[in-house]
Every structure is written in structure tokens, then in C-alpha cells.
A and B are shown apart, each in its own frame.
Chain A
Amino acid sequence: MAWTGKILRVNLNDKTCKEEPLNREWAQQYLGQRGLATKYLVEEIDPKADPLGPDNKLIFATGPLTGTMASTGGRYSVITKSPLTNCVACSNSGGFIGQELKNAGWDMVIVEGKADGPVYLYIENEKAELLPADDIWGTSVWHTDEWLHKRHQDPLLRIAAVGRSAEQGCLYSAVINDLHRAAGRSGVGTVMASKNLKAMAVRGTLGVGNIKDPKRFMQAVNAAKKVLADNAVTGQGLPTYGTQVLMNVINEIGALPTRNAREVQFEGANEISGEAMHEPRPTDGKPNLVTNAGCFACTIACGRISTVDKGHFSVKNKPEYWGASGGLEYEAAWALGSDTGVDDLDALTYANFICNEDGMDPISFGATVAAAMELYGRGVLTTEQTGIPFDFGSAEALVKAAEWVATGEGFGKDLGLGSKRLCEKYGHPELSMTVKGQEFPAYDPRGIQGMGLTYATSNRGACHLRSYTVASEVLGIPEKTDPLTAEGKPALVKAFQDATGAVDSSGLCVFTTFAWTLEDIAPQIDAACEGEWTPERLLELGERVWNLERQFNLAAGITGADDTLPKRLLEEPAATGPAKGLVNKLDEMLPEYYQLRGWTPDGVPTPETLQRLGL
């Protein structure tokens, strides 16, 4: 069965925590985590609800394999309506809290209403209660984490919390768990703070024992682990260099958005790369990277643990930042670095620490700083607004910006709006590198065509993790396609979107798919869960989730006209590299994509499509 069969419903209005049974029929259609929680959200909230109002709900959801011995089986997601995009939001995180929630006996926690003062949710197996959080409101995630551990005298308590940025209304605040893992995107932390819910602290000791066929499950799990270990990418590449090894790859192929995507190659890329993180610093002889780290049950361990040079200006006289903490992933390094033109690895690492400490999505934060830098360069913003010079390449500006957004001080309020609202406020919406209000990540769609369609059609606004066609277009996984052509990309994007929808609903990490296909994943789910789970059924489930999300967004007022890209990517050709002279060919891809999806030319699922998927 793998599901615990129990949902915890937390009502913040009347401060109650109630147990209810999981809807088993929905679990067969949507599996868990992203899919199943989206189904609950769609059924329970008005799509037009104010994301920051009491009618929005916030769901913490595990998958059926969360908490099991399956490799990477520690994932959980936060599902809500996003204040950044007004779309459905689903942000996925690793670390340890997902498995802890499952081990406490819960598939999901549904939070509704709004508390009349700061509270936190404390869960100890079947016991769940809301406790006052006045003492930690107005403090960072890291402080909250420490306070809760002390308060409950339990070093094994797992904690997810929001930082000061979320309390201050920053629209891209994350929910941070285990100090430096993040349900990062779309402002899910902002929603949590809007409900006066500061943290969720969980202790689970019940185990996840209800596996359908334990013997077959262990066989499937072990076979799949061997595939990960034997694969050069998941066995060696990711543990050694992390995702950051991509910095030089993507720069070399001319798809590294630079200085707010004005350019596609960054002269400082190698200075902020995975390779640079391994190199001893001239000052103290120590490299930025201390070690790699893994989430619960993960046999890949791609995480980075880093330090900032104690002599660096950002941490001078701040010994609290001299220790090792969560280091740069590729996305963060790109947004904080290449997109802002800053090539100072220590400044980036420090800004990343602040993003973890006070819960900001580094992609949206970095991209918003980049937009502000372009506005400043054009004279639209001056030091009157920014407080200090705000030129591209300024490490000082980046560091200050992180501190300001973290606390909501000064120019931090404007930066907390995100790139779209900031650029609109100052009269230049065209300078915002967003889709549906969400900042796009580290791949320029002029140099990787499929990513243009990926961003344009992503149900949570621009995102690379909804269909990571970079795997095929750049890395040759499962097979190499040409990044510069639009041909064949609609089918590729759809296939990645549907498969990812299934993986995100399972409790597993999407990075396994550098080595695994659904043929490796299905036997693990099938041995653990009631029902028959084949790769085909999983793919159909992914497609169902995709259409369900689409339906929600349409009902929320998002239309096919929003499936577009910033003008810069559609009209300003890349100036250097292999994509020189190219723009993104979205207009060639989108109609074919709609057709493949079984949608009308306006991007609306046809009745036949909905019926076929049981929607």
C-alpha cells in the first residue's frame, strides 16, 4: 500500500488538527505528492481565490515511496496557489522532513484558514497541535530551527520553516527544511507566512511498513540502486561535481543567460563553476566545497556543503557565517552570478546562505536583482531607490540586496516583488525575464530551443524542472537532439512533462531520471503500492496531472496567451556562440504542442482529452 492512508487537516481559524482518511480512489488516479495534492487543492479551493487570503490552502504532501528504502525516497512537495504567478504551485524538496512526516503516519498535511497570531505546527506521530510562535516570528529560518530543537529538547526533530522574507511579503519566499533544502519556487513560503504559520516541526517513529510486497520491493529497489551506481552520471558525475558542473557546459554551448539575458555567454563562468568550487582559495588554501551531501535514502548525493572565505567582505566580522552550510547548486550560481554579472564565488555563496537563512528562492531573487541592475544601468532606477550603486557585476550590490530582501528593508521591498512587478512598477515590463510572473532559470531558450517551449507551457510559470529537455538537447540523455532546432521539440517536451509528473508524484527525486526510466521506477511503485503500476500507467498519470494543473490555471484566469516568452527571447537574436543570430522559435513549436496534447488551438484541453484522462 505504501500510503499511510491518513491525512492531517489543520484548521488555523479554530486551531484544530483532525485526522481523516486518504481518498483511495484519487490515490489510484494521482499516486501521491504533486498529483494527489493538486487533486485535493483543485477540489477544495476556488481557483480565483486570493493566494494570500485565508481561502487559499497549503498542502505538505509525501509520495508513496517517501520514507521507504527506495533511493532518493525522501521527497515531499508543498502545493498551493502561488502569489507570484496566480497559477497552481508545487515546489519539491528533499532533505529529511518528508520521510519524517511519513514516518509519523501522515501522507499529507492540509492547512486551511489563517491563525490570529503566529503559530507553529508540532507533529509527534499521531499527536498534532498548533503552538504559539510569537517568540520566533520575526526571526530567520536558522534561528527558528535552533529554537524549536531547544524548545522540544529533541535533536532529531525535523523542521520546515519560513524566514523573515516571507513575513515581509516577498513574493518568492521558500519553505526551507533541514536548514538548507528548499521547496523553493513560486512563493509557497509567502503563502505559509500569510497564514501566520511559522514552522512545521515533525518527529515520526512509526516506520513505513505497509509495503504491498516487501520482498519484491527490496529486489526492485536494489536493482534500481545498481542502475544508479553503475551510471557514470548518477554514480560519479553528480556526487563529485554536483549540478554546478553545468556552468561551463551551458556557457560553452552559448545558452547561459547573462546580465538579465542580454547575452548568452558569461566571461566569468569558470570563476563561479563547479570546478572553481574545488580549487583551493589563495587566502586560506581551502576550497569553497567542503563535501557533498545526500537527502534521505539517496544514493546519488548531489548536494553541496560549502564555506565562504573568512576574509571576504560579505562575512567580515560575522563569525556566524564562517561555518559550512548549503552551497551553490547550478541554478543558484547562475541566478546570483551569471545573470547579475557577478563572478565572485564567495559573494554568491554568501548570498545563497542568506537565501537559505531567510527563505528566498535564489532563482527568482537573482533574476530580480538582474532586472533591477538593467533598470539601474538604463537610468530608470537611481541610487535614490537602490540606496547604493546597482551596476551589473557588483558583488556589493548582490550581497546587500540579499540582506535587504531577507529582512524587507529599504530597496528589499521592491526586490521582493519579483522581476515582473518590479519592471512593471518602473515602466519597463519588457525587461522582466519571466513567464506567467515567474523568473526563468539557467538555460537560454535561444541556445536550447526546447527550453523555450518548456518555460512557456510550464503550469507553474517558467521552470526547468517541469520538462528538463536539457538532458536530451545538451547531455544526450536518453538520446541526443540538436539544441538549435525546434523540430521534434513539442513531442520531446510533452514526453518529459508527462514522465516528470509521474516522478514528482512518487516520492522520488527527478535527478534519478538521468539514469532511470519509468521502466526502473514502475517496478518499485508496483511492489510498494496497491494496484498495478506499469510505465504506461505512470505516463498516463503524468499526463492527467498535467491536464489537471492546466484546468486549474484556466479556471484561475490564465489562458493560452500566457504561454509565451519575454520579447527579448523572441526578438533579440543571440549575439555570440552557436546560437548566434537565433531567437527562440516558440511560434513553430506551440501549435504542434497543443495538438499533441489534445488541446484546442487556444490551448484548452478538448472534452475528448479530458474524458480520455478521466478528468
Chain B
Amino acid sequence: MRITLKLFASLAEHLPPGAGRNEAEVEVPDGASVQDVLDRFNLSQEQAHLVTRNGVFVPCSLRSEERLDSGDAVAVWPPVAGG
């Protein structure tokens, strides 16, 4: 199935070649979990500080359980803040 992977700030370099500034459509196996996607793109737990699925926060403890659906968007940030 295809999902949209969005990698922001310093994580953009983990996107596959040919991706846009911060996102790419990627093919993942049916039933893949959020953690499977992070592993596939070499994103360590330290790097994947803030992870959302369709905009909703996915805590560390649920990343392996949370199964993705086709068309989902997974977005990942390193530790960041603003104001």
C-alpha cells in the first residue's frame, strides 16, 4: 500500500531520492506499523521524537501496535520547539 511519509527539519535527508522538500509517497507492506516505517527509513527513537499519523500524535509505546492504512500520512520530527 502507499502512504505519505513526511520528514521534517534535519530528518529530510532520510527521504528516498527524488522526494520533495519534506515528503514522499512510499510503498509499504500491507498492515505495516508506524514503527516498521520508521525502521525502514533508518529513523532511530532519538531522531523520531515527535511522530504523528494523520496529524494525531503517536506515543513511543504505541508505534509498533499502530497499523497503517493505505493513504495515511506519517510525519516525523526530531526534538524541536518554538514559541
A438 CB–B CB distance under 8 Å: no
Q: Are A237 and B79 in contact (CB under 8 A)?
A: yes
A558 CB–B CB distance under 8 Å: no
Q: What is the total of A-B residue contacts with beta carbons within 8 Å?
A: 95
A206 CB–B CB distance under 8 Å: no
Tell me the bound Cα distance from A471 to B79 in angstroms. 12
Contact residues in B for A232 (Cβ distance below 8 Å):
46, 49, 78-79
Contact residues in A for B9 (Cβ distance below 8 Å):
237, 240-241, 245, 274-275
Tell me the bound Cα distance from A272 to B55 in angstroms. 19
Contact residues in A for B22 (Cβ distance below 8 Å):
248, 270, 275
Q: Are A237 and B78 in contact (CB under 8 A)?
A: yes
B75 CB–A CB distance under 8 Å: yes
Contact residues in B for A476 (Cβ distance below 8 Å):
50
Tell me the bound Cα distance from A68 to B46 in angstroms. 34
Q: Are B80 and A237 in contact (CB under 8 A)?
A: yes
Q: Are B83 and A249 in contact (CB under 8 A)?
A: no
A244 CB–B CB distance under 8 Å: yes
Q: Are B83 and A465 in contact (CB under 8 A)?
A: yes
Contact residues in A for B6 (Cβ distance below 8 Å):
248, 252
Q: Are B21 and A270 in contact (CB under 8 A)?
A: yes
- For B73, the closest partner residue in chain A by CB is A252
Tell me the bound Cα distance from A464 to B82 in angstroms. 11
The verdict on A249 contacting B21 (CB below 8 Å), with A243-B83, A578-B55 known, is no
How many interface residues does chain A have, given as a range?
35 or more
A593 CB–B CB distance under 8 Å: no
Tell me the bound Cα distance from A246 to B83 in angstroms. 8
Q: Are A475 and B21 in contact (CB under 8 A)?
A: no
CB A71 to nearest CB in B, in angstroms, measures 16
Which A433-481 residues have C-beta < 8 A from chain B? 464-465, 468, 470-471, 474-477, 480
Q: Are A477 and B81 in contact (CB under 8 A)?
A: yes
Contact residues in B for A237 (Cβ distance below 8 Å):
9, 78-81
> What is B's interface to A at a CB cutoff of 8 Å?
6, 8-10, 12, 21-22, 46, 49-50, 52, 54-57, 59, 73, 75, 77-83
**Interchain Cβ contacts under 8 Å between A and B, 8 examples:** A233-B80, A245-B9, A245-B81, A249-B8, A252-B75, A253-B57, A275-B8, A474-B57
> What is A's interface to B at a CB cutoff of 8 Å?
231-234, 236-238, 240-246, 248-249, 252-254, 270, 274-276, 279, 329-331, 464-465, 468, 470-471, 474-477, 480, 482-483, 510-511, 514, 577-578
